[in-house]
Amino acid sequence: MSNLPISKCLMWLSASALALLVIVGVEPGIAFAATEHAETTANTFHNSKGAAFVFWAFAFASLGGSIFVITRSNMVTAVMGMVGTFFAIAGLYLMLYASFLAVMQVLVYAGAIMVLFVFVIMILNRPEDEPWAVQGVLGKGIAALGVLYLFKRLAGILWEVKDTHSLVVEKAKLNVEVVLNHADVALVQELQGLGIQLRDTARVCGESALAICRTYEFGTVEGVGYTLFSKYLFPFEAVSIVLLVAVVGAIAIARPPDDEEEADEAATKEAS
């Protein structure tokens, strides 16, 4: 950051000040509605200050990392910023009780996709002449204003959303229904003795059925996997086909043409 020119610093400072003005000052409706909403509603995610601190830390890390990514001219630096952003987003997934998705985020995004990007950067390895599509402070200022306006409109819509019930007090539970014989009273009593909750689900399974309500914690592998392999089996299989086609297509696109290969072979033969 030592070679950052002062005009750039001034530009970013003014842009952030403008952002604050737009979000807080010019549109007081959002801010006021926000405080009213937060005071009146009791349905909050986490009521502890520690959870709030963790959320704001992840929020600033992800947002700062994403801005870092799109402002760097060095590609490797941008990719490293992207990895940090993905880790912060994985932390946000954890705060939303999506632990399986958080692990997938780290494995797939920060692990696989970013390594792929680094490989491609190593192959290309060419500094760009003019990284920005708009030139000058004026053009970038207009672009920043446009992005801020877009954010203001999106946030204005999304801030009005009110969650229906608190999930902190009572975790959402997935009901896995196992059909039992209605007459098998001994088994039912045994299961109840084991603490497995039973209920009559005649509306689902017909009149001759009982069901075991097995509870899963929200966002675990069991819960997501059960939904994915029962109700969403077809999309899951379709995604596997899409991945296969993508792998074959990527190899077919990226492999050099045959004549070039032959030319390379001829060149190596001549060299040897």
Partner 1 sequence: MSIFYDLTVSHFLVLAAALFAVGIAGVLLRRNALIVMMSIELMLNAANITVLAFSRGFAGNDEAAYQGQAFALIVIAIAAAEAAVGLAIIVTVFRTRRHSDIDRLTMLKD
Site for partner 1 in 193-222 (CB under 8 A): 218-219
- 66 in Cβ contact with 85 (< 8 Å): yes
Q: Which is nearer to partner 1, 86 or 210 (CB)?
A: 86
Does 91 bind partner 1 (CB under 8 A)? Our answer is no
Does 28 bind partner 1 (CB under 8 A)? Our answer is no
Does 259 bind partner 1 (CB under 8 A)? Our answer is no
Q: Which is nearer to partner 1, 154 or 202 (CB)?
A: 154
Chain centre to alpha carbon of residue 54: 17
User: Of 6-14, 165-173, 187-195, 263-271, which segment contacts partner 1 by CB under 8 A?
Assistant: 165-173
- 219 in Cβ contact with 97 (< 8 Å): yes
Q: Which is nearer to partner 1, 190 or 232 (CB)?
A: 232
Among 126, 138, 169, 195, binds partner 1 (CB under 8 A): 126
* Alpha-carbon gap, residue 47 to 166, rounded angstroms: 11
Does 79 bind partner 1 (CB under 8 A)? Our answer is yes
Q: Which is nearer to partner 1, 75 or 212 (CB)?
A: 75
Among 130, 258, 259, 270, binds partner 1 (CB under 8 A): 130
Residue 26 to residues 31, 42, 150, Cα–Cα distance (Å): 10, 28, 15
Kindly state the smallest distance separating residue 10's Cβ from partner 1, in Å: 19
Q: Which amino acid is at 262?
A: E
| CA nearest neighbour of 126 among 173, 202, 74 | 74
Among 87, 91, 98, 210, binds partner 1 (CB under 8 A): 98
Does 24 bind partner 1 (CB under 8 A)? Our answer is no
Among 104, 106, 191, 205, binds partner 1 (CB under 8 A): 104
Does 267 bind partner 1 (CB under 8 A)? Our answer is no
Q: What is the CA radius of gyration of the chain?
A: 27
Residue 150 to residues 143, 153, 240, Cα–Cα distance (Å): 11, 5, 35
| CA nearest neighbour of 52 among 38, 32, 73 | 38
